[in-house]
Amino acid sequence: MFTLTIKKSVQMSVLLGALVGSVAVHAEAAPISDVVGTIEQTLTTQTQEMLVSAKREFVMSLQTQLAESIYDFNSQLGLSAENEGESASADEYSAK
């Protein structure tokens, strides 16, 4: 997902660069500062979207790891309780 976002951003930047280059060649009247401003704004927007996506994926990954750890811990506690119950039963049986 993250690499897909980066790939889309690079493709969009290349496409935008080609478009800007084409427009700049055909329209000398367009001020360069407007073109540069548009490029900067587009890159800023794409960077913000990419960071939001990366943050979302990171948080989801942490939540998944935490849930797996809690599940494993609970499973181990359940096994320990079963083993203690079995050993207590064996002790009672041997005491009779």
User: pTM (2 decimals)?
Assistant: 0.50
DSSP 30: S
CA–CA gap between residue 27 and residue 16 (Å, rounded):
16
Task: Name the band, by pLDDT with cuts 50, 70 and 90, for residue 16.
Answer: low
Give me the pLDDT at residue 67, please: 96
DSSP 29: T
CB of 24 closer than 8 Å to CB of 30: yes
The pLDDT value recorded for residue 71 is: 95
Tokens matching residue 57 = 């994926």
Each residue of 34-91: pLDDT tens digit?
A: 888 899 999 999 999 999 999 999 999 999 999 999 999 999 988 887 877 766 565 5
Q: Residue 11: what pLDDT? A: 74
pLDDT score recorded for residue 7: 72
Residue 45 structure tokens: 């927007």
